[in-house]
Amino acid sequence: MPHQYKPVSLVTGGAGFLGSHLTDRLLAEGHKVIAIDNLVTGNIINIEHLSGNPDYQFIRQDVTHYLFIPGRVDFVFHFASPASPIDYLELPIPTLKVGALGTHNALGLAKDKKARFLLASTSEVYGDPLVHPQKESYWGNVNPIGPRGVYDEAKRFAEAITMAYHRAHGVDTKIVRIFNTYGPRMRLRDGRVVPAFIGQALDGKPLTVFGDGSQTRSFCFVSDLIDGIFRLAMSDCHEPVNIGNPAEMTIRQFADEILRLTGSKSQIDFRPLPVDDPRVRQPDITQARAKLGWEPKVDLQEGMRKTIDYFAGRIKE
């Protein structure tokens, strides 16, 4: 039998929640994977199961420094970035640097290797949206100097430089705008609503709801999201594509659902709404359906049970 050619994929942020799940999918699809992470918000636990895999290599490095990768690279997936409000409020300058310098370095590598490039962008580029649901054509309503601006604008710049490399250098680029995603390997204390509510419910502590809980979110299970990202990477789309679950619910409804699924007797603790917290968040996935044949398949109950089981295991450790 002739030796089968294996594509080589580089994943920045490869020890993170999404980066590690993407790595698993790429390996399952027959890729070799080089993961880069400085472990500021990533965790070795997420990639422990890959130890000894001959198709996997881990490099501990900050992607805002020059990336030297010998040999062939066919795909560059740029997922490195703090991605929760707690992280980017604690790490405002690293967040800006990984969005700007890190994206520049990752694009430079893709250009040099003639690799396909995929940027992990975010629904946060829409800010606190005045259009509902959010289509890719919407330019957003972002406060550039607010506390969340370091993340929102870093990702908006990352999108701009990605399109510039596509237009000026002919790099084959993709941009995924990721909406709220949840699942195993999220950090319990990352400040996002899914781990916060599950952790509080399992500990019997009050669930912290900001404002009156009428703000909405749409939750996509991680396996669905990664499937959409893989399809986008293999497509010929260059414009941004929303990947997320359009099933929208209020934070108050979500809190009640977590209490029901965990059987917790926790109360709900209402707190003041943070600055620039988006009031609505729901993806329009018309483009993903039409161009990628993608839509989410895992319902909230099934996905949340898997996530709750994961967190229950982590709390016991």
At residue 284 the predicted structure's pLDDT band, cuts being 50, 70 and 90, is very high
At residue 317 the predicted structure's pLDDT band, cuts being 50, 70 and 90, is low
Residue 315: predicted pLDDT: 74
Backbone angles phi, psi at 85, to 5 degrees: -55, -40
> Given the structure tokens 């289509």, which residue do they identify?
135
* pLDDT tens digits along 141-184: 999 999 999 999 999 999 999 999 999 999 999 999 999 999 99
The answer to whether the CB of 249 falls within 8 A of the CB of 217 is yes
* pLDDT tens digits along 202-261: 999 999 999 999 999 999 999 999 999 999 999 999 999 999 999 999 999 999 999 999
- Select which of 56, 126, 151, 165 is catalytic: 151
> Given the structure tokens 């809980």, which residue do they identify?
213
The answer to whether the CB of 186 falls within 8 A of the CB of 192 is yes
* pLDDT tens digits along 56-80: 999 999 999 999 999 999 999 999 9
The answer to whether the CB of 285 falls within 8 A of the CB of 178 is no
Q: Go through the domains of the chain in sequence order and give each one's CATH number.
A: 8-182+221-244+284-296 (3.40.50.720)
Residue 3: predicted pLDDT: 60
pTM above 0.85, yes or no: yes
Concerning whether 56 is annotated as a catalytic residue, the answer is: no
Buried b / exposed e along 265-274 (16+ C-beta atoms within 10 A):
ebebeeeeee
